């Protein structure tokens, strides 16, 4: 489905030289970042990288020390009401008013956004069903677990069918099944043309849900690009092969000489770890070399994703500097 | 735009009032009202004495407790209104909505004033009915006392909102609001008076008009036994000033305050 219209510059999110200082500590240096309409961007980085600071500036919870955050061409600082009108946000795990029910909470958010009462009712039922909270719609939130609050947070972010979703660790507090459900939900949203800006610690989650990745460390953007391109261009990958019979020293010498094999290491009796450069072609060549030598391969799989490798490489590099 | 913002103010106010209702604070206040009224009405017959025959004297006994009721209203219905959004992290739900912070403060202020006014209205209504039953009459001074009590509520709520926008904990804001009016302002007023400065600008001293309108006191002879008698017009201006200044300062501070915890 085509992406929904955004501002004249075409970016639902545009951050220009965005920075934030807390006293002498610089949480964010000068972040430049744009997200195209309909794209789902994973915002990655270790703790303290500046992810939450960026998201809080984007949602007008804190002020930038320098630079500008614009959503659909509207400066969040200057006109937060208009800038946030097409945005749904989940920031950390928000607390809700314990004396309200999910339906009342959504009605509150809907009325603040100027939605008609019948639309609020219809959409509330819809989004609560989507996040599997339908049967809790009338219960007081004070009885809810963290996971249930997180589902409600996602429901309120979806209530007004926003063009841009800003999600800070959206699966935090959920059990594995809940995490999978929310990932599917986010994927379906980008399929419907929505733009998603999502921070996460979970690389696998980002790889599954997002089209693009931006990697942040020490308040600086290290890299931004499509998940596919970054995965392909991510230097070396580690693969593990297991064999029916332990490989001989000769087998290992032959494999070590295969183009793309940077290093190999015997792991236990019947397994070998390979560090391979040269992307998917080189990975295939190593497997072919094993088969050519008559080695009986029982499994051949990557250890960690290419994105993980890229993440670790870039973060380590940035930490050294 | 203005229409939308008025609608947002009313929405925020409606949900705040719901908070006071469901958190049982309002019911708690009604219980306190019941106890005060019950004791004042029940004690004289129990002790064998009669009720005052004049409505102003009859209501004057109740009006002596109005000040503490107003302070309780400010403590229960205003002191934690702003600080709780930060401390309890409900701001993470509320603030990313397209609503200006001043709209949120105005909505909450409206709810605090409405709820406090509802409590005072109930108090004066019951007391007036009791005065009619006991003395067979009511007076316009009772209405004036009620109006002064409402004006004093504005001052208390205004100051409570400043504390709520500055402090980091709901307990600190609640306790400080309560003791500021119950103790600190009274001490300052007394010290000023001893220092021969009339404490007309101290809200608790100015609140004397609430009961004075029913039983006008005299200043007494000059000297150590002279007592401060607040002037109604000046006191009303003082209340209005505290309310307006308090609300503006609370809005400015709340707008600047970041949600970063």
Residue-level pLDDT at A171: 87
Supply the range of the domain harboring residue A189: 13-224
Whether the predicted pLDDT of A261 surpasses 80 = yes
C-alpha–C-alpha distance, residues B19 and A100, integer Å: 8
* A164 contacts A87 by C-beta, under 8 angstroms: yes
Give A85's contacts in chain B (Cβ within 8 Å). Answer: 98
Tens of pLDDT, residues A123-137? 999 999 999 999 999
* Percentage of chain A lying above the pLDDT 90 cut: 60
Q: What is the pLDDT of residues B228-237, one digit of tens each?
A: 889 999 999 9
Distance CA B202, CA A108 (A): 39
Q: Is residue A289 part of a domain?
A: yes
| CATH of residue A277 | 3.30.70.100
Q: Do B100 and A81 touch (CB under 8 A)?
A: yes
Query: Rounded to a whole number, what is the largest CA-CA distance in chain B?
Result: 63
The reply to whether A203 and A314 lie within a common domain is no
Query: What is d(CA A114, CA A55) in angstroms, rounded to the nearest whole number?
Result: 24
Q: What is the pLDDT of residue A289?
A: 93
Which residues of chain B does A87 touch, with a Cβ-Cβ cutoff of 8 Å?
Answer: 96
Q: Which residues are paired to A35 by β-bridges?
A: A13
User: Do residue A49 and residue A184 come from a single domain?
Assistant: yes
| B1 pLDDT above the threshold of 70 | no
**Model confidence pLDDT, tens digit, residues B135-163:** 999 999 999 999 999 999 999 999 999 99
| Same domain, yes or no: A47 and A146 | yes
pLDDT average, residue stretch A230-251: 82
Phi/psi at B82 (nearest 5 deg)?
-95, -45
C-alpha–C-alpha distance, residues B70 and B152, integer Å: 7
82-121 of B, contacting A, C-beta below 8 A: 88-93, 95-100
Q: Does residue A6 sit within a domain?
A: no
Q: DSSP letters of B18-82?
A: HHHHHTTHHHHHHHHHHHHHHHHHHHHHHHTPPPPSSHHHHHHHHHTTHHHHHHHHHHHHTTTTT
Q: Is A5 within the bounds of a domain?
A: no
* Residues A36/A197, Cβ–Cβ less than 8 Å: no
Q: Counting runs of H as helices and runs of E as strands, what totals does chain B give?
A: 13, 0
For chain A, the average pLDDT equals 89
Domain boundary among A195, A224, A253: A224
Q: pTM of this prediction?
A: 0.86
Q: Is the pLDDT of residue A321 over 50?
A: yes
Q: Which of A111, A139, A168 is the best mutation test for B, with the most CBs of B within 10 A?
A: A111
Residue % of chain B over a pLDDT of 90: 86
A128 with A171, same domain? yes
Paired with A7 in beta bridges are none
Q: What pLDDT, on a 0 to 100 scale, did the predictor assign at position A55?
A: 96
Res A83 pLDDT > 60 = yes
In this structure, are A69 and A120 located in the same domain? yes
Which residues on A lie below 8 Å from B258 (Cβ)?
56, 61-63
Q: Is residue A8 part of a domain?
A: no
**φ, ψ for residue A75 (rounded to 5)?**
-65, 120
What is the model's pLDDT at position A8? 56
Pick from A168-177, A191-200, B13-22 the range whose average pLDDT is largest.
B13-22
- Mean pLDDT over all residues of chain B? 93
Determine phi and psi for A228, rounding to 5 degrees.
Answer: -65, -50
Looking at the predicted structure, is the pLDDT value of residue B55 above 90?
yes
| A263 and A195 fall within a common domain | no
What is the domain-level CATH number for residue A125?
3.40.50.300
**Last-in-domain residue among A178, A204, A224:** A224
pLDDT given for residue B2 in this prediction = 75
Per DSSP, which regions of chain A are E strands? Answer: 13-22, 25-35, 40-44, 66-71, 74-75, 87-90, 164-168, 195-200, 212-217, 220-226, 237-243, 261-267, 271-276, 297-302
Supply the pLDDT for residue B224: 62
Q: For residue B222, what pLDDT band results from cuts at 50, 70 and 90? A: low
Beta carbons of A90 and A154 less than 8 angstroms apart: yes
Q: How far apart, in whole angstroms, are the C-alpha atoms of residue A149 and residue B248?
A: 34
- Domain-located, residue A254: yes
What average pLDDT does this structure show over A236-240?
Answer: 80
Residue A4 included in any domain: no
Residue A310 pLDDT > 90: no
pLDDT confidence of residue A31: 95
Lowest mean pLDDT among A171-175, A312-316, B171-175: A312-316
B6 in A contact zone (CB under 8 Å): no
Sheet holding A212-217, edge to edge: A87-90, A164-168, A195-200, A40-44, A212-217, A220-226
Strand A66-71 versus strand A13-22 pairing type: antiparallel
In chain A, % of residues over pLDDT 70: 94
Q: Are residue A257 and residue A132 in the same domain, yes or no?
A: no
* Beta carbons of A108 and B22 less than 8 Å apart: no
CB contact under 8 A, B96 and A61: yes
- Cβ distance A99 to B260 less than 8 Å, yes or no, reads no
Q: For tokens 């190999």, what's the residue?
A: A264
Q: Which helix (H) or strand (E) holds A226?
A: strand A220-226
Residues A194 and A274 both lie in one domain: no
Among the candidates A224, A256, A287, a domain finishes at A224
Mode of pairing for the β-strands spanning A13-22 and A74-75: unpaired
- Residue A163 and residue A293 in one domain: no
| Mean pLDDT confidence for B186-215 | 93
For A232, the token pair is: 């392909």
User: Taking a C-beta distance cutoff of 8 angstroms, is the pair B154, B113 a contact?
Assistant: yes
Query: Domain for residue A3, yes or no?
Result: no
* pLDDT above 90 for B86: yes
Token pair of A246, please?
């332990």
- ipTM summary value: 0.91
Domains of chain B: which residue ranges? 2-256
Helix B101-135 vs helix B25-47: angle between axes, to the nearest 10 degrees? 20
Predicted confidence (pLDDT) at residue A47 exceeds the cutoff of 90: no
Q: Is the pLDDT of residue A6 over 70?
A: no
pLDDT at residue A1, rounded to an integer? 46
User: How many domains is chain A built from?
Assistant: 2
Of A217, A206, A199, the residue nearest A59 (C-alpha):
A199
Of residues A63, A111, A156, nearest to B93 (C-beta): A156
Residue A1 lies in a domain: no
pLDDT at B223: 63
CA distance B159 to chain A (A): 25
pLDDT of residue B261: 67
């Amino acid at each position: 489905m085509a992406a929904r219209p955004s501002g004249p510059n075409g970016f639902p999110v545009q951050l220009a030289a965005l920075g934030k200082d807390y006293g002498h500590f610089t949480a964010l240096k000068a972040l430049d970042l744009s997200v195209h309409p309909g794209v789902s961007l994973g915002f990655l980085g270790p703790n303290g990288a500046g992810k939450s600071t960026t998201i809080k500036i984007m949602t007008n919870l804190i002020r930038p020390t320098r630079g500008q955050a614009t959503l659909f061409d509207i400066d969040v600082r200057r006109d937060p009401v208009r800038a946030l009108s097409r945005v749904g946000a989940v920031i950390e795990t928000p607390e809700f008013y314990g004396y309200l029910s999910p339906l009342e909470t959504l009605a509150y958010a809907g009325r603040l956004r100027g939605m008609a009462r019948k639309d609020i009712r219809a959409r509330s039922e819809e989004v609560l069903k989507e996040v599997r909270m339908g049967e809790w719609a009338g219960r007081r939130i004070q009885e809810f677990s963290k996971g249930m609050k997180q589902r409600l947070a996602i429901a309120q972010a979806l209530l007004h069918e926003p063009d841009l979703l800003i999600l800070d660790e959206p699966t935090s507090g959920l059990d594995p099944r809940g995490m999978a459900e929310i990932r599917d939900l986010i994927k379906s949203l980008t399929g419907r043309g929505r733009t998603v800006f999502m921070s996460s610690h979970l690389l696998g989650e980002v790889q599954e849900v997002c089209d693009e990745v931006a990697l942040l460390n020490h308040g600086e953007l290290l890299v931004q690009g499509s998940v596919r391109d970054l995965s392909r261009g991510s230097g070396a990958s580690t693969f593990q092969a297991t064999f029916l019979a332990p490989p001989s020293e000769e087998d290992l010498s032959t494999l070590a000489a295969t183009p793309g094999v940077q290093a190999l290491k015997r792991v236990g009796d019947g397994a070998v770890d390979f560090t391979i450069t040269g992307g998917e072609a080189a990975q295939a060549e190593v497997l072919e070399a094993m088969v050519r030598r008559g080695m009986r391969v029982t499994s051949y799989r990557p250890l960690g994703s290419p994105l993980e490798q890229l993440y670790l490489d870039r973060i380590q590099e940035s930490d050294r500097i | 735009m203005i229409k939308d913002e008025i609608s947002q103010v009313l929405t925020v106010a409606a949900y705040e009032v719901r908070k006071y209702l469901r958190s049982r604070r309002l019911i708690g206040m009604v219980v306190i009202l019941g106890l005060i009224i019950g004791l004042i009405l029940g004690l004289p017959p129990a002790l064998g004495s009669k009720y005052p025959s004049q409505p102003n004297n009859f209501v004057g006994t109740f009006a002596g407790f109005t000040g503490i009721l107003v302070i309780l209203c400010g403590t229960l219905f205003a002191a934690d209104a702003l600080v709780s959004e930060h401390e309890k992290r409900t701001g993470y739900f509320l603030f990313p909505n397209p609503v200006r912070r001043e709209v949120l403060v105005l909505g909450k202020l409206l709810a605090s004033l409405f709820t406090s006014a509802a409590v005072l209205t109930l108090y004066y209504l019951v007391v007036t009915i009791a005065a009619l039953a006991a003395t067979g009459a009511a007076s316009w001074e009772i209405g004036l006392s009620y109006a002064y009590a409402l004006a004093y509520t504005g001052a208390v709520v205004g100051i409570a909102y400043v504390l709520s926008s500055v402090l980091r904990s709901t307990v600190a804001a609640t306790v400080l609001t309560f003791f500021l009016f119950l103790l600190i302002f009274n001490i300052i007023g007394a010290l000023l008076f001893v220092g021969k400065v009339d404490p007309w600008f101290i809200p608790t001293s100015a609140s004397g008009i609430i009961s004075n309108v029913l039983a006008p006191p005299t200043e007494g002879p000059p000297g150590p036994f002279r007592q401060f008698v607040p002037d109604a017009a000046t006191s009303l201006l003082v209340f209005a000033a505290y309310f307006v200044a308090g609300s503006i300062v609370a809005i400015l501070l709340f707008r600047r305050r970041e949600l970063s915890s």
